[in-house]
């Protein structure tokens, strides 16, 4: 029997990044392009560790910011997709955790 | 300082010692014409230090089995940094040598909390004013409208943090001003991002905006992740500790009137 795969998000290990002045600055060594994340983007970035799904990251957003679960999930998914398209993130597939 | 060395079969190898931003280097080469050009070009930066890093130009075989710490190729010329020495190969003229020296310096400065920046630096009242921007931004205008002897460089500035203080050094790397830089340094007063405008005006920048202004103008040639992380750490510290401004200016010397003292 197959189980659904859950996608976890991970920072691209080739990147250089730092927090400065409350914002996260990310540099891609291959093209030296500078990417900047705002407050909530920086919060999500710090929590992206290869072990959290978009839903779990959105839950953290709800716990720390005044935002509804629906908006948190849609904003989180949009940001993850955007960062993925810029090659700032990679995904890690794992055997899904089956809900009780 | 120049010294002939015994080099059987290849003609006399000569060496020239120089120091740029307190990074001490010893250039060794057999090509008399290149040696003459290099020793003239870097004469103002001649310096005999106790333990310079040796650079062998077009020196033939590399050290046997030695790992390469850093390598870079540019238009047929190649830099390879071994633990024991540096090799520049395929260097046909002083311009290739100049380019590889910039690459090497940018790499060596990582370990010295420093970096190279496309910027003119002018010393005024004992402080270094750094004017950064791409070609055409006005670096040469700033340099040419500043008093003689006050320009550390009109093209490539070297910044490094020493004893908690950021200092700017001149470099021998020329710009349009065509003047050899000054082999001296001064504590940094501020970094000014040049913008051409009808009126002179300064606008203070937040650290992240200073970093944004610095990054496109930093000379760096490594795609290696750890090197880039180190560079970003150094630049972030500079952006946090050095005052930075946008400087809209009229392309003449009147801009000094609006600069912070």
Q: Do A32 and B233 touch (CB under 8 A)?
A: no
Nearest to B208 among A14, A21, A29 (CB): A21
**CB < 8 Å to A17, chain B:** 232
Which distant-in-sequence residues (6+ apart) come within 8 Å of B2 by Cβ? Answer: B14, B15, B16, B35, B39
Hey, is B144 helix, strand or coil? helix
- Annotated domain spans of chain A: 5-91
Q: Give the DSSP letter of residue B46.
A: B
Higher pLDDT, B182 or B179: B182
For the CA atoms of B227, B228, B230, B232, the dihedral, rounded to the nearest 10 degrees, stands at 170
Residue B9 has pLDDT above 50, yes or no: no
Reported pTM: 0.89
Which token pair is B198? 């009808």
Q: Do B208 and A23 touch (CB under 8 A)?
A: yes
Nearest to A20 among B211, B224, B229 (CB): B211
Average pLDDT over residues B210-231: 93
The span from the CA of A62 to the CA of B52, in Å, is 57
Question: Within a 13 Å sphere around the CA of B64, how many CA atoms are in the beta-carbon half?
Answer: 0
Nearest CA in chain B to A26: B232
**pLDDT tens profile B137-168:** 888 889 888 888 899 998 899 999 999 999 99
- What's residue A4's pLDDT? 56
- What's residue A98's pLDDT? 38
Tell me the fold of A5-91. Outer Surface Protein A; domain 3 (3.90.930)
What CATH code is assigned to B114-258?
3.90.228.20
Residue B232 has pLDDT above 90, yes or no: yes
Nearest CA in chain A to B233: A18
Distance from CA of A97 to the nearest CA of B (A): 33
B210 vs A: CB within 8 A: no
Q: DSSP characters for chain A? A: ---PEEEEEEE-TT-EEEEETTEEEEEETTTTEEEEE-HHHHHHHHH-SSSB-HHHHHHHHHHHSS--HHHHHHHHHHHHHHHHHTTSEEEEEEEPPPP-
CA A75 to chain CA centroid, Å, is 11
**CB < 8 Å to A29, chain B:** 222-225, 227-228
Distance from CA of B247 to the nearest CA of A (A): 21
Give the 3-state secondary structure of B225-237: HHHHHHHHHHHHH
**CB < 8 Å to B228, chain A:** 16, 27, 29
Q: DSSP characters for B201-247? A: EEEE--HHHHHHHHGGGEE-----HHHHHHHHHHHHHHHHHS-EEEE
Hey, is B157 helix, strand or coil? strand
**Percentage of chain B surpassing pLDDT 70?**
93
- What's residue A100's pLDDT? 37
Question: Within a 13 Å sphere around the CA of B98, how many CA atoms are in the beta-carbon half?
Answer: 16
Nearest to A29 among B207, B208, B224 (CB): B224
The span from the CA of A95 to the CA of B205, in Å, is 48
- Annotated domain spans of chain B: 2-112, 114-258
B72 vs A: CB within 8 A: no
- Give one word for B237, left, alpha or beta, with left for phi > 0 and alpha for psi -120 to 50: alpha
- What's residue A97's pLDDT? 46
**CB < 8 Å to B232, chain A:** 16-18, 25, 27
CB atoms within 10 A of CB B17: 20
**CB < 8 Å to B222, chain A:** 29
ipTM: 0.81
Size of chain A, expressed as the number of residues it contains: 100
Residue A27 has pLDDT above 50, yes or no: yes
């Amino acid at each position: 029997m197959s189980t659904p795969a859950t996608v976890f998000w991970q920072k691209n290990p080739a990147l250089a990044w730092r927090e400065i002045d409350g914002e996260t600055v990310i540099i891609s060594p291959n093209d030296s392009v500078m990417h900047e994340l705002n407050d909530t983007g920086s919060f999500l970035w710090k929590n992206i560790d290869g072990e959290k799904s978009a839903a779990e990251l959105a839950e953290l957003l709800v716990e720390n910011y005044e935002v509804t679960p629906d908006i948190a999930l849609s904003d989180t998914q949009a940001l993850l997709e955007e960062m993925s398209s810029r090659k700032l993130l990679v995904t890690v597939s794992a055997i899904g955790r089956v809900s009780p | 300082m120049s010294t002939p060395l015994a080099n059987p079969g290849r003609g006399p190898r000569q060496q020239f010692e120089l120091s740029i931003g307190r990074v001490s280097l010893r250039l060794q080469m057999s090509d008399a014409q290149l040696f003459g050009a290099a020793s003239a070009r870097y004469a103002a930066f001649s310096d005999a230090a106790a333990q310079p890093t040796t650079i062998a130009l077009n020196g033939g075989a590399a050290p046997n089995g030695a790992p390469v710490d850093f390598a870079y190729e540019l238009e047929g010329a190649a830099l390879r940094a071994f633990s024991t020495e540096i090799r520049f190969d395929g260097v046909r003229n002083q311009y290739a040598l100049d380019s590889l020296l910039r690459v090497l310096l940018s790499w060596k400065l990582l370990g010295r909390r420093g970096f190279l920046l496309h910027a003119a630096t002018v010393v005024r009242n004992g402080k270094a004013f750094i004017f950064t921007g791409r070609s055409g931004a006005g670096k040469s205008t700033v340099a040419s409208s500043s008093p003689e002897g006050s320009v550390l460089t009109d093209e490539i500035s070297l910044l490094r943090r020493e004893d908690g203080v950021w200092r700017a050094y001149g470099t021998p790397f020329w710009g349009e001003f065509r003047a050899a830089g000054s082999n001296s340094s001064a504590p940094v007063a501020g970094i000014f991002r040049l913008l051409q405008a009808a009126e002179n005006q300064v606008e203070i920048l937040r650290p992240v905006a200073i970093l944004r202004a610095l990054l496109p103008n930093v000379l760096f040639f490594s795609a290696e992740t750890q090197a880039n992380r180190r560079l970003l750490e150094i630049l972030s510290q500079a952006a946090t500790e050095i005052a930075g401004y946008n400087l809209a200016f009229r392309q003449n010397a009147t801009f000094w009137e609006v600069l912070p003292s």
